[in-house]
Chain A
Amino acid sequence: MSGNKDMELIDENGKRLDGRDLDELRDIKIEAGILKRADGSAYIEWGKNKILAAVYGPREMHPRHAQEPSRAVVRARYNMAAFSVPDRKRPGPDRRSVEISKIISEALEEVVFVEMFPRAVIDIFIEVLEASAGTRCAGLTVASVALADAGIPMSNMISSCAAGKIDGHVVLDLGKNEDNFGEADVPVGMVPNTNKLTLLQMDGNLTKEEYEEGMEMAMKACNEIYDIQRDALKTRYSTTLEDQEEIDEDISELQEGE
């Protein structure tokens, strides 16, 4: 958030650098169940972000002193690949990724039925392959789908999206330049439909009125993102009538062969 005044972020037609309207999301595509080895996984493309999430568990918690006797621990690890940004990022956890891992873990714990698995850990690995602003929101969104794909008992998924302020305007879902040269960024994570906030951060400068405007945009967008998350799971697990006919045919062929 440099609040750089030299950079023009909104043109005379009220469009943003990438042609979006002020309250328009970037394109989002989610695919569930793409890694064989993991118990659950998902992949998201959100604008130019490309992020993978994998879930292992519930499994025994190591180190053992970190076990919780009455519930499972939800442990997310957010990691940016060295090649995910123009200047190589030094591999390994830095302070930023430690903080993001913590808030994503906390945001997800709200919806997981942790009481069902005492002493266990549910590990969520979020790997940012290409980063272009908004990776924590995209990471949280895709991690929710991966948890559902792993069959972890949950009350709901978490949908996440950021609002922000650029050139004095409140906008939705900051892009790369908007993030670097904008005036504020407000990442929001929410339990869809109930509008309960499980992740909320803000940096920059906003009045209360601007905050309200941004939050309304972000919460509406979270509900839209929820549909995309659900569709990803439906695509992975639903059986269409045609699929069923094919299966029936195969069975009858086998029976005839006997």
Chain B
Amino acid sequence: MKEIISTITKDYLYRLIKEGKRIDGRDLLEHRELDVVVGSIGPAEGSARVKLGDTEVVVGIKMDEGEPFPDTPDQGVVITNAELIPMASPQYESGPPGEDATEVARVVDRGIREGGVVDTSKLCIESGEKVWMIFIDIHVLNFDGNLIDAGGIGAMAALMNTIVPASDFEHGENYELPLENIVIPTTFTKIKDTIMLDSGLEEEKIADARLTISTNEDGDIVAMQKGLSGTFEYEDTLECIELSQEIGESLRQKVIEFVEEGKI
């Protein structure tokens, strides 16, 4: 089912955007307020509840022993899944993940995988036989736009909060999941010719195109995804990359602070 939007809201949004304003009073390149609470889910090895404005997601990490893939016998496995559950929006239906959920999961996964967040070679228990599997599950509780950033930040914070349950499997003491990098996605949307950061639901409904850029600690680009049927100019993408490096860094510091708070 598709989201619908009334013509009057649509026209209002267009008029605002023409003046460089947004429906919630933010600047074009301003994120909504971010709040992350880590470790709130007891049974999970790591977890994070993220609020990005009214968008709310909870990400849980579960770990298990499993068989490695035949072509990577000494590397652990990371699997990311996203569920757009019907409680989050009247537009969502129950059932297997649709293409929107698949896209969110795969874009978040790409950032974590390609950004080298988890060194999978450290997750090997017995080469070719047993490795650690990390399952990242993103549950959307309230949908108010920009699931990729909320999910990506949540996945990152949850991983930073993860304790490897080694003792449950008789592999010695539990220990913190070693991470190599912190990757942050930033999503821009283009409405008419205006580019803005972190669109809310109403803005997302009228967006022409969407661009997610994930950057790592060094400011390198590790994943990108253009979505929706509109286009971006090449020059736009360069501008977005620069913004993403800058905004990603400030978000990264915030995420680190939130994770530290959770440890106390």
- Residues of A at the B interface (CB closer than 8 Å) are 1, 65, 68, 74, 95-96, 98-99, 101-103, 105-107, 109-110, 186, 191, 195-208, 211-212, 215, 219
Report, nearest first, the 5 A-B pairs whose CB atoms are least far apart: A202-B224, A196-B231, A200-B226, A109-B229, A106-B229
Q: Is the CB of A202 within 8 A of B223?
A: yes
- Please give the distance in Å from B177's CB to the nearest CB on chain A: 21
Q: Is the CB of B220 within 8 A of A200?
A: no
Q: Is the CB of B221 within 8 A of A95?
A: no
B87 contacts A by Cβ under 8 Å: no
Could you tell me how many residues of chain B have their Cβ less than 8 Å away from some Cβ of chain A? 35
Measured CB to CB, the nearest residue on chain B to A110 is B229
Residues of A within 8 A of B228 (CB): 106
Residues of B within 8 A of A109 (CB): 229
Q: Is the CB of A195 within 8 A of B234?
A: yes
- Please give the distance in Å from A170's CB to the nearest CB on chain B: 13
Which of B1, B221, B222, B231 sits near A208, CB closer than 8 Å? B221
CA–CA, A65 to B1, complex, Å?
A: 7
Q: Is the CB of B227 within 8 A of A103?
A: yes
CA–CA, A215 to B223, complex, Å?
A: 15
Which of B1, B223, B226, B242 sits near A199, CB closer than 8 Å? B226
CA–CA, A212 to B237, complex, Å?
A: 10
Residues of B within 8 A of A105 (CB): 229
Q: Is the CB of B227 within 8 A of A211?
A: no
CA–CA, A102 to B101, complex, Å?
A: 11
- Please give the distance in Å from B20's CB to the nearest CB on chain A: 23
- Residues of B at the A interface (CB closer than 8 Å) are 1-2, 99, 102-103, 105-106, 110, 113-116, 211, 216, 219-234, 237-238, 241-242, 245
Q: Is the CB of A215 within 8 A of B237?
A: yes
Residues of B within 8 A of A101 (CB): 99
- Please give the distance in Å from B96's CB to the nearest CB on chain A: 10
11 residue pairs from A and B, CB less than 8 Å apart: A65-B1, A98-B99, A107-B229, A195-B233, A198-B226, A198-B229, A200-B225, A205-B221, A208-B219, A208-B238, A215-B237
Q: Is the CB of B103 within 8 A of A200?
A: no
Which of A1, A195, A219 sits near B114, CB closer than 8 Å? A1
- Please give the distance in Å from B185's CB to the nearest CB on chain A: 12
Q: Is the CB of A191 within 8 A of B231?
A: yes
Most B CB contacts (10 A, CB to CB) among A110, A204, A207 go to A204
